[in-house]
Structure 1
Amino acid sequence: MSGKSRAVLIGTSTYSDAGLPDIPQVGPGLTELSRVFTELGLVESATTVLDEPSIGALGRGLTQAMAGADDLLLVYYIGHGLVGRAHDLYLGMHDSEPGSPEFGSLSYNALRDRVLDSPATIKVVILDCCFSGRAFGTAMSAPVDELVIDGTYVLTSAPPNRVSLVLPDEPHTAFTGRLLRLLDGGIPGAGEYVTIDDVYRHLLVTMRGEGLPLPQKRSGSTADRLRIRNRATMDTADDLRDRVAAVVVRARDTTWASVVDDLADLHSRQIRLLHGEHPDVLRTFASLLFARAAAGDPAKSGELLRELILTQGAVVGFDHPDLLRTVFYTAICLGESDNGTEAIARLRTLAPMQRSYLGYEHEDTCRTQHALARYLARTGEYVEASALLEELGAIRERTLDPASPTLAVTRRDIDVVGRAVRGG
């Protein structure tokens, strides 16, 4: 966008009235919205106003945050929505009273007037408004028909006669969470840019498919043509998978500790594009934990890797190469945490599984055999370690380039352990 663009993200997560349940998902939602709006280049800056207790201070903060927006102004609210006696909408604040929202709540009409004062060419207002608690979540409501501002795009989380939910065990409200997932994942095949109306239509399909309340929208002028970068053309699952694989190769050629930041970034991107238990995400997380272990915390990484084994096994199966590699990472973390006995036990169990499923000459199988020999040598079991290394050396002589650094390390270890066996 050629001019200045601003986002103002408002939310209330805690309430003094027992009739308005706290919404802990509000803060994380605002944080993620700030990230995605700026990452996609939709706005140049985002101001977050969370749990502001004073309406006066909130008004002054909004005025300051909106200043300078001459291209796009985006205002987003997450919290309880309250309906006054005249059926007008109030946005919940900490001291809002459900029976008297006129006191202690932000009038939507006041917010609308403040937005109308902005010189921004395009104005977008998004309301994710909650009202009261329910057995399976927090009920949310927001009337739509009176919210329209001329020349703006207004999007709400539910129609006036329905509620939308904060679902159990989800990190965000149902509406905001699915909007974030859509923006982070993008719309495949839609080109480099999509419009805000494209986003609305896909969000509508998603929420209808999940049996959730349907979002509503109203637009004036050409605001519905607002362009948003399509994340699907920025990151793809295949591209991220290839990039992770390249980083792992680099880690093996250099040091694992040097790739922690790269793996953390790629892992975050995969989570946003896919989901937490996607095989690609789990594979990258295992590598990230191993890199963190190399950077100085093998014990903690080992604990997390043990937990990951159960999750990964349920997703891909306990004979999958990804799972077997995670077991290898776990064993190394144990060995580097002065728990060599358990490391040896895990590697002894892992080695025949890899030979069976991957073959004797697979590099993962060879790495396990090499690690097992090294830990055996550390404990003085030189004869067995030497036999494993001799066998490994023969395999790597056949399969690796003569100039391979891995082959050179294998030859060195054969020599060192062989001298120990001979007493020299």
Structure 2
Amino acid sequence: MPPDKAGIIPRLYPSTGSPVNPTPAVNTLRPSACPGLLRIVQALDGGICRVKLAGGSITAAQARAVADVALAYAGGVIEATNRANLQIRGIGAEQDALIAKLLAAGLGPSNASGDDVRNLMLSPSAGIDPQMLFDTRPLADEILATLQTHPRFHELSAKFALQLDGGEALAMLEHHHDLWLSAFVRDGQTLLAFGLAGCPALDAPLAAVPLEQGHALVVAVLEAFLDLASPAQTRMRHLPVDNVLGHLNLPLLPIDGFKRSPSGASLPIGTYPQAQKNQFYVAALAPLGRLDATMLEGTAQLASDLGDGTLRFTPWQGVLLPNVEKPHAVTQRLAQLGFLCSVDQPLAHMIACTGSSGCGKALADTKADAVQLAALYPGHDVHLSGCPRSCAAAHTAPVTMLAVSPGRYDVYFRDPAQPGFGRLHAHNLSIEATGALLRARPRSNTDD
């Protein structure tokens, strides 16, 4: 079947006989520019498969399956995404075999049409964070099941995204979502504040509901969006908020008393105590969001040997191992595998998209340039983007370098009064000149 105009090959849902996919469908996937598990999108370096993880969590056996198919059917490159999913890059001709192996490992949706809409972000420390107001995972499971099984919700854009925040200390609060819910306590009752087309860190909620109404709220908001949106209006930001609120057939509560404390960890690296006694979680970053099969296989083995047999990926493009009793040994092994385990490592403060080595839209080799910049010790958190789409960072970084040609960048500083990347500070700088500029500039308290 020839690719469509976006370069996507529509595929049929393979039947694996696996109990995790009890009703394989023969639906042809709708065209989309976003990769999924069932839809391989072509890039300069080969096909891309995105494996969506429930709450960022994956078992050790599933992680091994991802590592195995990345080696067998692709170039061995695995990416941790900024929404706590995994991507396999460089996929060759045996796409169907790769998909079938991932489905057999239980990494697919409950039906073909539900793959695109599994976009629900949780804290990486859901269920184990000492500051959590409730364990978000059961409600998240309920929401994800509804997204996959309610046929009408399959009309949502593959980019349509939700966030469920349980008040954890470790939480990415700056990524914008079409619908976000954030827990708070008032008069001894746990409530869920919610907002549209925004995020808990920057936007005031619109209203609240009791915790037990959280699932009903999600359903009501999504139904309202689909009732009101035209085909061209694919995201919540395309609709007036009052129209959506007025369409909800659900009693709403005031937001008096809501205050979301900032995330306790500006960069999730290190060892943290859990709510469970004598248990810890250990967090590290994948350098520039990249892993190879050996790193993922080694982390899976580490989770089996010194953890509970699970891994969690984070929106900071890193990994977290929960329920650890010997955190020092885990950290030591993660460092040996090639993860960044200290905030003192300059590369831990770099974000970079795929760049021109793998993406036809990028104007520079951003990953190579990020490594070069890190060696210059710029002293800031920096995002390098090969084009204005900003694929690597879903929030505005303190410093953004936007490529204008190979090795040359416009430099922006985050400014709440300016849209997009912020305020343009310098044009067409080399990596060396950018490093000198940043070293001479004091680190701002707005840095992540």
Query: What is the TM-score with the length of structure 1 in the denominator?
Result: 0.26
Specify which structure has the higher proportion of helix.
1
Specify which structure has the higher proportion of strand.
2
Q: Which has the larger radius of gyration?
A: 1
